[in-house]
Amino acid sequence: MRVAFLVAPEGIEQVELTHPWRAVLDSGGIPALVSTRPGRVQAYDHLDRADTFPVDETVGAVSADGFSGLVLPGGVANPDALRMDAKAVAFVREFFDTGRPVAAICHAPWTLIEADVVRGRRLTSWPSLRTDIRNAGGVWVDEAVRICRDGPNTLITSRKPADLPLFSATVTEEFVRRPAHHGA
């Protein structure tokens, strides 16, 4: 099953991209890097430049139908840029509209807020997003990983890089091992 990793051209927290990416690969899934522009994206290790990664597809050229799930890595600048891009926000919303699972870590719920998909859902994030999530109608909880099942939708959220082992295991369970339960 193909799993989309949606990122902006710059500002991705590298470990929040590479850890779940490797987990998807190791469990037999096919990760695809989707961005708002073609070329390469610049990842960061906190505030320091890290590696670059090649974009597989641009957000305007794909739809949720081609994927079994969506992963939104964090980093402060990454979700901030994504929430300002109408095509990226529409792409995220399409996963919810079609009942495909979505996973977001750290600051990535900013993009979920912009897509108006947190209302009535329990989720976690980096603690500084607590007020943003509550203002968007969500319920913020302080948990390493939170799974919110709401009708056909599954939303997996996590707080920070230290939670990556559990986050990645949960992502692979939902996206790769249980894809028949979702729209893909």
Positions marked active-site: 106-107
What is the rounded distance in angstroms from the CA atom of residue 172 to the CA atom of residue 177? 6
For the record, the structure tokens of 184 come out as 């893909």
Range list of β-strands (E), 36-144: 40-45, 48-54, 57-58, 69-72, 102-105, 122-123, 139-140
Nearest to 155 by CA among 165, 145, 164: 145
What is the rounded distance in angstroms from the CA atom of residue 129 to the CA atom of residue 106? 9
